[in-house]
Amino acid sequence: METTEYFVIQNTKINTVDFRFLDPESLTYPVPPLVSARLFVQHGVRKLKINATLYINSKDSQNPSVGIFTENDGLIEIYFDYDYDDKSPETYDVWYVEIEYTSDTVQNVTKIISYLRDLDPETSRGTSTVIP
């Protein structure tokens, strides 16, 4: 039986004043997650640390959640869920989400695809991150 677990270590708003992009016209909305990851060993157990930065409308800011987390054939897909409107905001709150993941096949993970997902999937955005 395969063992799979993930834990959200941190889910924190990291800005104290509203964040503004310098060139908002060049953005696509929603802004896709910025994700990095690294494999490490802790107490003899292989783990994957995933760090995500999410930009969420500051006018309607709420804690994002990890909605779906799957691993299949070396690929992890993560959906960060929150409810937002379809208009590009002028200001954002910046959220830092840290996840620790372990499975019997974690050493085979080579890529993470992460999505900032709305209740309306047509306005969801994703990014792909390669594991070094």
Residue 52: what pLDDT? 97
* Region of poorest pLDDT, from 35-39, 89-93, 109-113, 128-132: 128-132
Q: Read off the pLDDT of residues 74-109 as tens digits, 9 standing for 90 and up.
A: 999 999 988 776 677 889 999 999 999 999 999 999
Question: 127 or 91: whose pLDDT is higher?
Answer: 91
Give CA–CA dist 129/132, Å, rounded: 9
What are the residue ranges spanned by the domains of the chain? 4-126
66 in Cβ contact with 78 (< 8 Å)? yes
56 in Cβ contact with 95 (< 8 Å)? yes
Residue 4: what pLDDT? 73
pTM of the complete model: 0.84
Q: What is the mean pLDDT of the chain?
A: 86
| Predicted confidence (pLDDT) at residue 60 exceeds the cutoff of 90 | no
DSSP state of 130: E
Q: Collapsing DSSP states into helix, strand and coil, what is residue 60?
A: helix
